[in-house]
Structure 1
Amino acid sequence: MNVIDIRGLTKRYGKAFAVDHLDMQVAQGDIYGFVGKNGAGKSTTMKMIAGLTTPTSGELALFGSGETGAGRAGSFSGGSSRIGALIEEPGVMPNFSAGENLMMKALAMGVVRPRERVGELLQLVGLEAAGARKVKKFSQGMKQRLGLALALVGSPDLLLLDEPFNGMDPETTRDLRRSLVRLNRERGVTIVISSHVLDQLMRVCTRFGVIAAGRMVREFTDEELHATCGSSVRVRTADPARALVILEERLPASTFRVEPDQAIVIGGGARHATAAFGGAAIDPAASGAPSVEDVSHILHEADQVVLELSVLERDIEDYFVELMDGGAGQVAYTPSHMRAGR
């Protein structure tokens, strides 16, 4: 089931589009990394999901509810009680302590055993020692942690986090990452995180969506990302359709992508890909991809004429930057497209 299913969602201010016919799907159990430049429309999209602002048009279904978003901000009563959100600045009362802020929200939401729940949340976000301190004395990182705790009051099924790592030191960031993964795995909370800190997203997210100028450029899983950016072999032959069939038969554990010029890109399969943030694997063997010698030998045995054979490496950060600039990246064609033309 999709926890979030967005179709053609639009938010317009006058003639300017903050979100422009956006499509977005977040499945139950995802940790979804929502990536884009400043002004791309991430925060506006998350506000519409949370029911905090009115969509101009489009459809937004939460938890399979089939709700339509157009003109109905705040109308998602069935879904909003299941959503926790930290969008832009945390909504806190500075003259009250962290514990008091949490207690007020817990009482307003009718949380059972509110004092116990507040203690659990303070410990979860690492503020147990500062629970009695007034929030106006908090650093930015501490306010972010309190904002996360407030978002978790009521044990939501969907957590929306907008730049949650802002102002946090490395140790706190690591602890937050671990807490989010634990919430996802142990309690089944679906999480959407928008962030510019790509290396942090890479450590926790299972799926990604990249937005540019209010439109979704591409959605992909973590495995698909590493299969795309890990080292691979690119080969172009005189008979690409036949070569593809031969390579699929001889290299069943590999992944294949056919490019517009009919070149075949061979990867090692997502389960073998080990490309790390900031660079691809050092060589094809390290990512599980076949070597150029393997591919050359297979095609030579099958009497295939090789026109081009090379190793490809793609930097993950460069790939995200390309997508955030609005580029679609390399177009992927399935093998059936090529076979249909045989």
Structure 2
Amino acid sequence: MIETTAAVTQCCGADWELKTVTLDEPQNDEVLVRIVATGLCHTDMSVRDQHLPVPLPAVLGHEGAGVVEKVGSAVTELAVGDHVVLTVASCGKCPNCLRGLPTYCHQALPLNFSGRRADGSSTIRCDGVDISGNFFGQSAFAGYALASERNAVKVPKDVDLALLGPLGCGIQTGAGTVMNRLKPGIGSSIAVFGAGAVGLSAIMAARVVGCTTIIAVDIHANRLALAKELGATHTIDATEGNAVDAIRALCGGVEYSLDTTAVPAVIQQAVEALLPLGQCVILGVSSPGASITLPIHNLFFGQSVGGAIEGDSVPKLFIPKLIELWRQGRFPFDRLVRFYEFGQINQAMHDSAQGIALKPVLRMSA
């Protein structure tokens, strides 16, 4: 057993509590990772508020970055001392995994949201009682985390690990949706609704792939200003009028749109802003029972709308590519990060919810 400090989510809506927990030793296909830092994501808050049905109490956290300290006997791709970014779990055996679509794994829900391993066993105990762990195959709100060989991505040792955790989910989701899912051509147009960490990552990716009309829509002036610095060619303050009208006045409509807000009325605007054959992708996690109503004519001319998971990425290929783009100065995701100490987790969550911090990252004590 490994003893460590973890932030435990006790019940719906409660603050995180730092508690001493015990982890299992790694199984044959698992690695034990000493967490250096972990990003905070809206999905963690969605689980805390039970918009996503992970049993509580639980140790959450799914943007971990750290150093491998132990490896199971069947692990072949990782070794003690490797630096890794932890990402979404997948089985590696289902048709979607075999087709190179691991984020759409047939076992994605039990592997990432059941609070248990695939065999039903618990990985974490608190006060002698099993609690939910294995969140996204990691539960990185802790000093140590168990992960599988499949969802631990080896990264270069000369890059600050504390910076890299968000590449495992939020930043990967925004950038990957543009680069892997939409694949806009050079000179194309895109509107991004919501200029948080996911939306700004999409904007940076849109600039990388050569979009020439990149529109950021938000209600916060500071976020819109940063969006302009990171690649947006136009910004729209949604408090000043109808964003769809503003987009049409700028360019008649867009070929691609993303919603990162999870607000049904905003999702509808993202669809309405499309040109014929346009594509809209929904990335935010809405509250249970949320729905949108679209007039049929909004989709009559070949428009499409759907969701995307983790940017349709193959994380072991895509995360190293984002790191290389960052090295080249073409994907400055570090500008989104604000660091907090682990004990400040509730403050970090508050700042994220209030829009004060774009991408909070918790640093563990040495």
TM-score, with length taken from structure 2: 0.27
TM-score, with length taken from structure 1: 0.29
